[in-house]
Chain A
Amino acid sequence: MNYLEIKDIYFSYKDKEILKDINIKIDKGESITIFGPNGSGKTTLLKIILSILKPLKGEVFFKEKNIFEFDERRRAKIFSYVPQKINTFFPMSTFDYLILGRTPYINGFIKKEDREIVSNWIEKFKIGHLKDLNFQFLSEGEKQLITLIRTFIQESDVIILDEPLTHLDLKYRMKILELLKKIKLSGKTIISVFHDLESIRYISDRVILLKNGEILKVGKIYDIITEENLTNLFEENIKQILTLQK
């Protein structure tokens, strides 16, 4: 049985093709990264998997069931999301932000068990000093870390991350990569978008090269991340970048 299958996805917006003929099969516990130039359709693909966007053609299957046949809460128990930019329009405590990870499980009112789950994860990750602070005023690194911790609270099977390391300093990049490594070892499936090859090497089992909305190549990182493939992907000679990355 296929764990997660993205089949024949086609998506366009205002007559512009964004994604076409996207076919991917992902195994349980696998960490897969989508890599490509800006505007290649990476975030769109993530949003289709999350059901934030609906494809014009094609389907997404989880354990061979079409995810659009599930209701929103069931989908949220399968997929959790760490967006590229974390929005906070209003002040709220970090604890209140974290407890929203229990939204798919809550009917009406938050229960004591939900609060205990959040408190346990706060203790486990030693972020008690942040729980009463205004989430809006945390650093970008702290926000990304807290949002990643929220995926534990959400207890999803698949974690989806869109450029989680953008705007982060070295300290928080390392913290998040270490946490992702632990998530991977725990058996959860990870679908991510990264821009740097170092992170991809550290965390990914396979890489999808996406160019102009189409899959160029899929495969294991050392087979795919070659000078030839990257030159083709970015249409630039990237030999020097590869040298620096090593």
Chain B
Amino acid sequence: MNRKVFVFIILVTLIFVFLLSMSFGSKKYSLYEIIKFLISPKEGDELLLKIRFPRVISSFLVGASLSIAGLLSQTLFLNPLADPFLFGISSGANFFVTISLFFGWDLIFKFSLSFFSFLGALFATFIILLISRIKGKITPLNLLLAGIALSYLFSSISSFLTIWGRDVLNRSVFWTLSGFSTINMEKISILLIILIPSIIFSLLFNVQFDAFSLGEDEAISLGVNVKLLKFVLLFLIALLSGISVYVSGIIGFIGLMVPNLLRSLFGLNHLKLIPLSIILGGLLLMTSDLIGRFILFPTEIPVSIITSFLGAPFFLYLLFKKRSF
């Protein structure tokens, strides 16, 4: 497919899905009402301002975050199958949430649950770094194996606690299934505060990321500070994954699908892949959320079920396909 045509199609689809997402729900809005709201939000419907718009925009922003996190994961691990979930970050977030539910820490302040999920994401990243440092050298393979092991450990302890504490079970299952139904502008503000500098920072390192993708030895010979770059990659991945979990809980496969789809068309060029990941990742998650709201309306299917439904077959496809350009 022609690349310019592809970009045109995803931009048009983005606008279409955005308008449809804003329109569809318990109360339906016309195109005129939506455009009127976008021009002067404060004069618009309260439902649009406080629920519909935050939901749609946050699904786009979280999709963008997860896509970039996935792209950077694949760069760090030199592996197209790498994904933030392989770090165990989401499991770490879920683990901290489960602990907080178990001990009742979620009642400490208003956003305790989200805060603990964010803390868990950072904690998981720190543990992975420590584990891989034990051998005295960080390699992509060490990090990947550490993340997988950590993911299993966090998941098993979380499962044990949810079985042990009945109340924990009821509340954590809903958390695990995730979504945008409880989103608000405060969460979106925090998301933007993290996302925008992360994007800028990633763009500034675009050439170094490309060079790193040739392998460490060649990257060093091209003047890349490989140790620093690995930390930058790891930190950005943890930040973007962590903030996504904080805002919307565990959502899988976006970080796997989007970079692979884009690389097959545009090749390895982070200057192009980063902005395209924002658009396509945002579009994919926004669409998934819309499908989740629509398919069994008025019952809502959590967005992570939709992304897993799309992502799992894609993951299997990746395992068997040849790389193409």
Determine chain A's interface SS by DSSP, over half rule. mixed
Q: Cβ of A89 and Cβ of B215 under 8 Å apart? A: yes
Residue A72 at the chain B interface, CB threshold 8 Å: yes
**B189-241: which have CB < 8 Å to A?**
203-204, 206-208, 210-211, 213-218, 220-225
Contact flag A100-B210 (CB < 8 Å), given A89-B78, A90-B268, A136-B325: yes
Indicate if the CB atoms of A72 and B207 lie closer than 8 Å.
Answer: no
Complexed CA–CA distance, A91 and B74 (Å)? 13
Please tell me if B170 contacts chain A, counting CB pairs below 8 Å. no
Looking across the interface, which residue of chain A has its beta carbon closest to that of B217?
A52
Instruction: Decide yes or no whether B79 CB sits under 8 A from chain A.
Output: yes
Q: Size range of the interface on B?
A: 20 to 34
- Cα distance A104–B325 when bound, in Å? 27
Chain A, interface size category, equals: 35 or more
Output the residue of A71, A89, A137 with the most chain B CB within 10 A: A89
- In the assembled complex, the Cα of A75 lies from the Cα of B222 at a distance in Å of 9
Interface string of A96-117 (1 = CB under 8 A from B): 1000111110101110000000
A91 touches B264 (CB 8 A): yes
1/0 contact string of B301-317 vs chain A (CB within 8 Å) = 00000000000000000
Judged by a CB distance under 8 angstroms, whether B44 is at the interface is no
Once bound together, how far apart are the Cα atoms of A109 and B270, in whole Å?
Answer: 11
Pick from A71, A93, A104, A136: contact of B222, CB under 8 Å: A104
Q: Chain A residues near B210: list those with CB within 8 A.
A: 92, 96, 100
Complex interface: chain A residues within 8 A of B156 (CB): none
Residues of B within 8 A of A96 (CB): 210, 267-269
Give the docked Cα–Cα distance between A104 and B223 (Å).
5
Contact of A52 among B78, B206, B220 (CB under 8 A): B220
Partner of A72, one of B80, B203, B220: B220
Which segment, of A4-12, A76-84, A186-194, A218-226, faces chain B? A76-84
Q: Which B residues are CB-close (under 8 A) to A81?
A: 217-218, 221
Q: Indicate whether B323 reaches chain A with its CB closer than 8 angstroms.
A: yes
B324 close to chain A: CB less than 8 A: yes
Binding site for A on B (CB under 8 A): 74, 78-80, 203-204, 206-208, 210-211, 213-218, 220-225, 263-264, 267-269, 271, 323-325
Query: With an 8 A cutoff between CB atoms, is A131 at the interface?
Result: no
4 extra interchain contacts, Cβ-Cβ under 8 A, other than A93-B269, A109-B204?
A90-B268, A92-B210, A102-B207, A108-B204
C-alpha gap A83/B223 in the complex (Å): 15
The residues of A that contact B324 with a CB separation of less than 8 Å are 91, 134
Residue A239 CB within 8 A of the other chain: no
Which residues of A lie under 8 Å from residue B80 when comparing CB positions? 89-90
Least Cβ–Cβ distance between B154 and chain A, in angstroms: 28
Which of A76, A106, A134 sits near B267, CB closer than 8 Å? Answer: A134
How far, in Å, is B323 (CB) from chain A's closest CB?
6
Interface centre among A71, A73, A88, A100 (most CB of B within 10 A): A100
Interface set, chain A 23-59, CB cutoff 8 A to B: 47, 50-52
| Structural contact, B217 and A90, CB atoms closer than 8 A | no
B263 contacts which of A50, A87, A90, A154 (Cβ < 8 Å)?
A90
Task: For B221, give its contact among A71, A80, A87, A91 (CB under 8 Å).
Answer: A80
Which of B74, B204, B208, B267: most chain A Cβ within 10 A?
B267
A87 touches B214 (CB 8 A): yes
Residue in B203, B210, B214, B225 with the greatest tally of chain A CB atoms within 10 Å? B214
Q: Which of A51, A75, A100, A106 contacts B214 (CB 8 A)?
A: A100
Could you tell me the distance between the alpha carbons of A79 and B206 in the complex, rounded to whole angstroms? Answer: 22
